[in-house]
Amino acid sequence: MKNKSKELDVDFIGGQNKPLTKEEQLSISAFIKESKEKRLKSEKRKSKTLNKQLA
């Protein structure tokens, strides 16, 4: 028997009455940029090792 999960209606981060501050926006942007760089770096490493194995 499955439990029914409630769907959340979330459009943005933070409270509904006040927008994000500039500091919060910058910290979120920095986090996203850093995570993209880490992902791309790990993908490059994986592709290099895969190419070495195929050769």
- Domain extent listing, the chain: 22-55
**Each residue's pLDDT tens digit, 14-30:** 666 777 889 989 999 99
- DSSP-derived secondary structure for 23-53: HHHHHHHHHHHHHHHHHHHHHHHHHHHHHHH
Decide if pLDDT at 31 tops 80.
Answer: yes
Q: Are 14 and 24 in contact (CB under 8 A)?
A: yes
**Lowest mean pLDDT: which of 9-13, 33-37, 44-48?**
9-13
As a whole-number percent, the residues of the chain with pLDDT over 90 amount to 31
How far apart are the C-alpha atoms of 30 and 42, rounded to whole Å? Answer: 18
Q: DSSP class of residue 13? A: S
Residues 6 or more apart whose CB falls under 8 angstroms from that of 28 comprise 13, 20
